[in-house]
Amino acid sequence: MEKQLQLFDPMIIRKDFPVLSQKVNNQPLVYFDNAATTQKPQIVVDALTNYYQNYNANVHRGVHHLSQVATAAFEESRDTIRRYINAAYTHEIILTRGSTESINLVASTWGRQNVKEGDEILITELEHHSNIVPWQMLCEEKKARLRVIPINDDGSLNIDAFHNLLNSKTKLLAITHVSNSLGTVIPLKEIISAAHSNNTLVLVDGAQALSHLKVDVIDLDCDFYAFSAHKVYGPMGIGGLYGKEKLLNEMPPYQGGGEMISTVSFEKTVYNELPFKFEAGTPNAGGTIAFASALNYLKGLGIDAIEAYEKELLDYATQRLLEKSNIRIVGTAPGKAAIISFLIDKIHPYDAGTILDQMGIAVRTGNHCTQPLMQRFGIQGTIRASLAFYNTKSEIDSLINGISKVEELFL
Ligand code: PMP
């Protein structure tokens, strides 16, 4: 443990993130909005700059030098992403704009092809709007039924209800890995295995998982896994979808255009092979390369060390918050990730967030794109502090002081 802590010194790590050393409202910035987006280490910024400064070219299309360098770096990055989540084949990694697009891709292609009238799609009460609305749209179009697995009061999934809801009509389970609002971590292996025994495919919304946990898609045996680079210290506008080769091969393309074709005539188009079949248009090559550099950076730190340190931070933050009599933590599932939603007495989260911002503390307030989840708890929203490995206990102390100030002003 001592060795790990020694290795994992957040004060040294913070030097990799120039954005963190600024002042906001004359106070040192405390960035606790990591579930919305993470900050980027200099190495990621450099990878992006290096791409545009030195080898920007359209990939896959040119015989010229720059295009070949860019293509090699782009495809190598796809393989880095594959290795990070332990997919079997590089062509099982489809590059998209992020989790939202990845989920929409599956809904529009696999969903349209396979979901029929009367079929059921299962989601959970924890889902982000991105993993609700695409399925709602599909169900509306196909006259299928969207069913929702309830959660328990601590924010954990109601496993008995899940088993009861699974039936012969359940075509797909679309489920988050880590809840962006509560931090709940879903016991996916058990759930995926039960779904598969029922011939139900499983799509995992991994937007919040890659930054906090080791993800191994082969071990999970999920059918699809969606993720976003910007949630895992990479750039915005890039992300991916892992899909099992067989399923991806059977699915129709998502969008039509360049890259996704093999041959085109006015009479007939032959689609390209995987992964290009799903990647119409010029890809975000620079973003993909920078994404891979973020994953390499995380690998260098070690996801186990990150997990251990974030747990220490989460425990500290929880304990400090609970020392205050006015705090209600929403979401206390065992084994949760370092995301804490809370309320301060009857104070509106927006008011609290505004005062905290004046003290340089960035938290998220509102429904966190999980309106049905907020309704489940009978609240409008929460204050959310979502932590990352570059956060420190002293920043948590600043948050606690900030909350005292909020209490002084509003109670
Ligand atoms: N799912 C979850 C659980 C999320 O937290 C988010 C982002 N807040 C998304 C999906 C959507 O991700 P993106 O906006 O990067 O597509």
The CATH number covering residue 35 comes to: 3.90.1150.10
Average pLDDT, stretch 51-72? 96
- Report the C-alpha gap between 392 and 160 in whole angstroms: 38
Residue 137 has phi, psi (to 5 degrees) of -65, -45
Give the residue-averaged pLDDT of 198-221.
98
139 given a catalytic annotation: no
What's the average model confidence in pLDDT over 118-124?
A: 99
How far away, in angstroms, is 241 Cα from ligand 1 center?
13
Do both 218 and 314 map to the same domain?
Answer: no
Q: Is 274 helix (H, G, I), strand (E, B) or coil?
A: coil
Within 6 A (CB) of ligand 1 lie 35, 98-100, 128, 130-131, 176, 180, 205, 207-208, 228, 230, 369
CA distance 172 to 189: 16
2 pLDDT higher than 70? no
Q: Which of 299, 328, 356 is the last residue of a domain?
A: 299
CA of residue 99 to ligand 1 center, whole Å: 6
Do 8 and 65 share a domain, yes or no?
Answer: no
235-238, Cβ contacts within 8 angstroms, sequence gap of 24 or more: 235/40, 235/44, 235/48, 235/286, 235/287, 235/290, 235/291, 235/294, 236/37, 236/98, 236/287, 237/97, 237/98, 237/284, 237/287, 238/95, 238/96, 238/97, 238/98, 238/284, 238/287, 238/288, 238/290, 238/291
Are 366 and 285 part of one and the same domain? no
Written as six digits, the tokens of 403 are 């909350």
pLDDT digits (tens, 9 = 90+) for 346-365: 999 999 999 999 999 999 99
If you average pLDDT over every residue of the chain, what do you get? Answer: 97
Single residue among 267, 299, 331 that ends a domain in this structure:
299
The b/e string for 262-290 (b: 16+ C-beta within 10 A; e otherwise) is eeeeeeeeebbebbbbbbbeebbbbbbbb
Both 292 and 306 in one domain: the answer is no
Which pLDDT band, with edges at 50, 70 and 90, does 20 fall under?
very high
Whether 270 and 307 share a structural domain: no
Total residue count of the chain as it appears in this document: 411
**Ligand 1 atom 5 nearest Cα:** 180
The pLDDT assigned to 332 comes to 98
221 with 244, same domain?
Answer: yes
Q: Render 106-167 in DSSP notation, one character per residue.
A: HIIIIIHHH--TT-EEEEETT--GGGTHHHHHHHHHHT-EEEEE-B-TTS-B-HHHHHHH--
> Are 213 and 73 contained in the same domain?
yes
pLDDT per residue over 125-170, tens digit each?
Answer: 999 999 999 999 999 999 999 999 999 999 999 999 999 999 999 9
Across 6-15, 109-118, 147-156, 185-194, least confident range: 6-15
- The answer to whether residues 311 and 301 touch, using CB atoms and an 8 Å cutoff, is no
CATH number at residue 293: 3.40.640.10
- What is the Cα–Cα distance from 133 to 108, expressed in whole angstroms? 12
Q: Are residues 115 and 258 in the same domain?
A: yes
Query: Which atom of ligand 1 lies nearest, measured to the CA of 130?
Result: 10
Residue 3 binned pLDDT confidence (cut-offs 50, 70, 90): very low
Q: Could you give the percent of the chain with pLDDT greater than 70?
A: 98
Q: Which of 228, 232, 336, 373 to mutate to test the pocket of ligand 1 (most atoms within 8 A of CB)?
A: 228
| Pocket probe mutation, ligand 1, options 96, 127, 236, 369, max atoms within 8 Å of Cβ | 369
- Identity of the amino acid at 241: L
Same domain, 209 and 183: yes
Say which of 24, 194, 308, 369 is annotated catalytic.
Answer: 369
For the record, the structure tokens of 380 come out as 């409008």
Domain boundary (277, 299, 321) is at 299
CA distances from 394 to 129, 182, 301, 353, 390 (A): 33, 23, 21, 19, 12
Q: Can you give the pLDDT at residue 62? A: 85
Asked if residue 354 and residue 220 are part of one domain, the reply reads: no
pLDDT tens, residue by residue, 22-43: 999 999 999 999 999 999 999 9
pTM: 0.98
How many angstroms does the Cα of residue 131 sit away from the middle of ligand 1? 8
Count of structural domains, the chain: 2
> For a pLDDT cut of 90, what percent of the chain falls above it?
98
Q: Is 252's pLDDT higher than 50?
A: yes
How high is the pLDDT of residue 5? 46
- Check whether residue 320 and residue 273 sit in a common domain: no
Atom number, ligand 1, closest to the C-alpha of residue 205: 1
Amino acid at 343: L
Domain extent at residue 186? 46-299
Task: Determine the distance separating the centroid of ligand 1 and the alpha carbon of 233, expressed in angstroms.
Answer: 14
Same domain, 21 and 130: no
Please check the confidence at residue 399 and state whether its pLDDT lies above 70: yes
| Per-residue pLDDT, 7 | 66
State residue 90's pLDDT score. 98
The stretch 96-110 carries a mean pLDDT of 98
130 Cα–ligand 1 center, Å: 6
